[in-house]
Chain A
Amino acid sequence: MEQPYAIEMLNITKRFPGIVANDNITIQLKKGEIHALLGENGAGKSTLMSVLFGLYQPEEGKIRKDGKDVKIENPNDANDLGIGMVHQHFKLVECFSVLDNIILGVEPNKLGFLNKAEARKKVTELSEKYGLHINPDALIEDITVGMQQRTEILKMLYRDNEILIFDEPTAVLTPQEITELMQIMKNLAAEGKSILFISHKLGEIMSVADRCSVLRKGKYIGTVNIADTSAEELSAMMVGRNVNFHVHKEEAKPGKVVLDVQNLTVASNLHKNDAVKNVSFKVREGEIVCVAGIDGNGQTELVYALTGLEAAAGGRIELLGQDITNLSIRKRNDMGISHIPEDRHKHGLVLDYSLEDNMILKRYYEPEFSGKFGIMNKANIRKYAERLIEQYDVRSGQGAATTARSMSGGNQQKAIIAREIDKNPELLIAVQPTRGLDVGAIEYIHKQLVAQRDAGKAVLLVSLELDEVMDVPDRILVMHQGEIVGEFDPKNVTQEELGLYMAGAKKDKVEA
């Protein structure tokens, strides 16, 4: 008889109003295997995991553990069954030690008094057994992202979880840390843990997984043995066609300098050092310059300083020859900076406002929208919003009156792009503009960026996605630990080469 699967999700169907998020999906995880779950954003991976954790109840299908039917009604049930997860965004208490974070919720105690010695022993043993090399007394805020992830892994091991789920674990890691993580995952599998590895990065799946299940638009496409497949085949399964991610564009014709950054330094909010160190570069009209790098290397702070969300600690920023280093955000907007922010929910939209009110977020004070005595002109606002909705194909339930919160991520992003581009900016700063979007939306946004460039605007793109970095810009600047460590022409550089610079293994002296 065949050995029972560690966990099986059989014929799971989960519907939401207007969408089938999971349509008859079956995933079977063998004991001791690393099973990859591949799919684009919106393919239904998160929904499936939420079903596994009892956050959603599926309309159809069942879950089995070791061949027996189980009912998972809430995360505690999942926990009792030995299912643990490392989330994409860690769930750690920053000011607690590693050990405290690990035992949080399952503190060993005698009559309510903590017994940390016992916990420390177990954590140290586990850490050695799986080669995690972690110091239990370090504070979370002091350790690297890679170490924080290991703390999450130890949390699962400490709870004796047998089924470990990794949700996009490599998104925040450097290439070296990724290699180490892969080794850790292999160690875990060798010790009999079963691993579900959620990712859309083909290279990683090819190097670490035993089998791979593919989802596309909520449907189950198939499961393949990694040994019998290729990255190309997986890619075709994932997107449903052989995708040409290449962006068609003419040769850039850079003109005069629009943005001139000189020796810019920005203090870090998180740590007691500088997030951006003495950075200089220029962006000209008619070109797209991309700031590439691994998340958390100062890109966010750089953009904050350029847009005025945060003050610069030193240096000078010029827009079309005018010093804007100390100008207000409003003044910078009016002078022609548009900003597609990294976090559309935090900065980009007032989610409780209607779509039309969001469309005028940066222009509401113009005479067209607020007239005498500051009375707002609702008719003009509606007219303007409807034009943008039409022109940029922003889809929503009730048109201009839709609450922004109820719109899909892609359409929220389109609304922001419509608003920022329609301001007819001199400089468009786009930070991870395609994050979390499907292929169609990504293509659309890339086209818009290129169109802005061709219209003679300066575009500064900040991206974490290597494909985007290679494809969209005319020049690449690599940032590592707050410094620009390399400048490249995307035509003359390989992804591997860029990776070395992003990880800090190589470094050039870059002149602005």
Chain B
Amino acid sequence: MKKNFLKNSIVQSILTSLICIVLGMIIGFIVLLFINPAGAAEAIISVAKNFLTYNSANMQLKYLGNTLVKTAPLLMCALSVLFSYKVGLFNIGAAGQYVVGACACLYAALAWKWSWLPCMLLAVLAGAVFGAISGILKSYFNVNEVISGIMLNWIGLYSTNMILSNVKEAASPYTYQLTAAGEQALLPTLGLGALFNKNQYVGLALPLSVLMAVLIWAILAKTKFGYELKATGFNKNAAKYSGMAEKRNIILTLVIGGALAGLGGSLLYQTGYEQWQCTHSSLPAMGFNGIAAAFLGGLNPIGTIFSSFFIQHITAGGAYVDKTMYCSQISDLISAIIVYLCGFVGFFKYAMNSRIEKSEAKAAAKEMGKEAAAENKKGGKE
């Protein structure tokens, strides 16, 4: 029997991700049609175009750079979600771990004037501690990591607002600009900015996040540790039976997940691209978009690199929707719809597989029916 190429899991992942993207675009378009049919086509195109809206190549490069600056932290959040998911844990706490990571590095940079590396390490540590709390609650008290993660998200957010209020500008709710008050903590640019029309925000974060994705892939695919974690994720009873320390593995997983998200916070705020707004009353979308990016990337660390870029591309593209025709929330709404649909990758994969299985079973039954008939004929002749 010829092998159905749709059964190849890589082909499947890519295909289902594309289906999700297209569907998201279509639904987004329909929503725009309802609100104001006149500008719908133009609006959805500008979302998809993002930095390509600009005519000059230089401007395009610069804004591509901006998208990339925010892709790095998103990738870290996606890796955090993905890594935990492989062990059967849903790390919705990535959003909060990201926030406390941002808090740690900004405070260290602005209040203590630490240089960039210690700031970054402190951010990693902060995220890891938040992950550890969820992990310990999960493995010793059987508290669902989603519940503790959501609670910790809010604790993280308001603690951050409180702590960073000590280093904020007097006249605004924003923290001091890193370029002015904490230059020593800016991530090295490695000369990468020059590639993006002197975009000073592009730097170490980008290659570092890609490196982390490769590292996570290697850990999961190649190491004893990854073997244990995946076994625990697939079947924790069998993991226990074979003598793996499943409690330790759960904690360790969330610690690593937290560390990745915490690093994400550092990779955005230590570029100086954004200042923390101490009046935030909702969590930055970064952590939650990480969930969509992880699924859109087919739960593969390498796929996640591309899906993170795409989601950031759409999110940034939302800003270019014509605000004279639509209210200002429209950009978030449209990108949210597309991102939301991106979470459906698993569903489409399932649907595709069950279709393939059905048609194969039918074909096999037919084949066997023929054989049986042929044999009956033979038997009749004898």
State the A residues within 8 Å of B (CB): 15-18, 20, 59, 307, 309, 328-333, 339, 341, 346-353, 357, 361-362, 364-365, 369-370, 373-376
Contacts and interface: CB of A to CB of B under 8 A. Distances in A.
Contact of A349 (B230, B238, B243): B238
Given A350-B231, A361-B231, A375-B222, A17 B241 contact: no
A330 B238 CA distance: 13
Interface residues of B, number: 26
A365 B231 contact: no
Given A17-B361, A351-B235, A362 B225 contact: no
Contact of B369 (A15, A17, A331, A376): A15
B243 A330 contact: yes
Contacts of A361: 231, 238, 242
A81 B361 CA distance: 29
A449 B254 CA distance: 42
Contact of A333 (B228, B243, B365): B243
B224 A376 contact: yes
Nearest to A328: B243
A353 B233 CA distance: 11
Contact of B365 (A17, A349, A351): A17
Contacts of B365: 15-17, 59
A329 B224 contact: no
Given A15-B365, A373-B223, A362 B235 contact: no
Interface in B107-126: none
A341 B241 contact: yes
B225 A374 contact: yes
A329 B222 CA distance: 25
A352 B368 contact: no
B9 to A, nearest CB: 11
A interface, by DSSP: helix, strand, loop or mixed? mixed
B198 interface: no
B222 A348 contact: no
B127 to A, nearest CB: 23
Contacts of A329: 240-243
Contacts of B244: 330
Nearest to B228: A364
Given A309-B240, A347-B241, A17 B360 contact: yes
B203 to A, nearest CB: 29
B54 interface: no
Nearest to B239: A350
Given A353-B231, A357-B227, A376-B227, A339 B243 contact: no
A370 B224 contact: yes
Nearest to A17: B364
B8 to A, nearest CB: 14
A362 B240 CA distance: 11
Contacts of B354: none
A370 B360 CA distance: 38
B78 to A, nearest CB: 22
Nearest to A419: B242
A373 B372 CA distance: 55
B231 A370 contact: no
A300 to B, nearest CB: 13
Nearest to B221: A376
Interface string B241-256: 1111100000000000
Given A17-B360, A370-B224, A59 B369 contact: yes
28 contacts: A15-B368, A15-B369, A16-B361, A17-B364, A18-B364, A20-B372, A309-B240, A309-B241, A329-B240, A329-B242, A330-B243, A333-B242, A341-B241, A346-B235, A350-B231, A350-B238, A351-B235, A353-B230, A357-B227, A361-B242, A362-B242, A364-B227, A364-B228, A365-B224, A374-B225, A375-B223, A375-B224, A376-B227
Nearest to B222: A375
Nearest to A363: B242
Given A329-B240, A333-B242, A362-B242, 17 more contacts: A15-B368, A20-B368, A20-B372, A309-B241, A330-B243, A339-B241, A346-B235, A347-B238, A347-B240, A348-B238, A350-B238, A364-B227, A370-B223, A370-B224, A370-B227, A374-B224, A374-B225
Given A328-B243, A375-B223, A376-B223, A347 B237 contact: yes
A333 B364 CA distance: 43
B241 A348 contact: yes
A425 to B, nearest CB: 14
B347 interface: no
B356 to A, nearest CB: 12
Contacts of B231: 350, 353, 361
Nearest to B364: A17
B234 interface: yes
Contacts of B227: 357, 364, 370, 376
Contacts of A364: 224, 227-228
A396 B349 CA distance: 25
Contacts of B228: 364
A373 B234 CA distance: 24
Contact of A352 (B234, B361, B369): B234
A165 B198 CA distance: 78
A126 to B, nearest CB: 40
Give 5 nearest A-B pairs by CB, closest first: A330-B243, A17-B364, A370-B224, A374-B224, A347-B241
A297 to B, nearest CB: 22
A330 B249 CA distance: 14
B139 to A, nearest CB: 15
Contact of B223 (A309, A350, A374): A374
Nearest to A358: B238
A350 B369 contact: no
A17 to B, nearest CB: 4
A353 to B, nearest CB: 7
A374 B361 CA distance: 41
Contacts of A333: 242-243
Contacts of A362: 242-243
B232 to A, nearest CB: 9
Nearest to A343: B237
Interface string B343-376: 0000000000000000011001100110010000
Contacts of B235: 346, 349-352
Interface in B235-284: 235, 237-245
Nearest to B219: A374
Nearest to A357: B227
A333 B242 CA distance: 8
A374 B220 CA distance: 11
A376 B242 CA distance: 17
Given A17-B364, A370-B223, A346 B240 contact: no
Contacts of B241: 307, 309, 329, 339, 341, 347-348
A328 B241 CA distance: 10
Q: Which of B240, B241, B365 has the most CB of A within 10 A?
A: B241
Interface string B193-230: 00000000000000000000000000000111101101
A242 B100 CA distance: 73
Contacts of B245: 328, 330
A375 B222 CA distance: 6
A376 B225 CA distance: 9
Contacts of B240: 309, 329, 347
A354 to B, nearest CB: 11
A18 B364 CA distance: 7
B2 to A, nearest CB: 15
B234 A351 contact: yes
Nearest to B242: A361
Contacts of A348: 238, 241
A257 B24 CA distance: 68
Contact of B238 (A15, A332, A346, A369): A346
Contacts of B223: 370, 373-376
Contacts of B242: 329, 333, 361-362
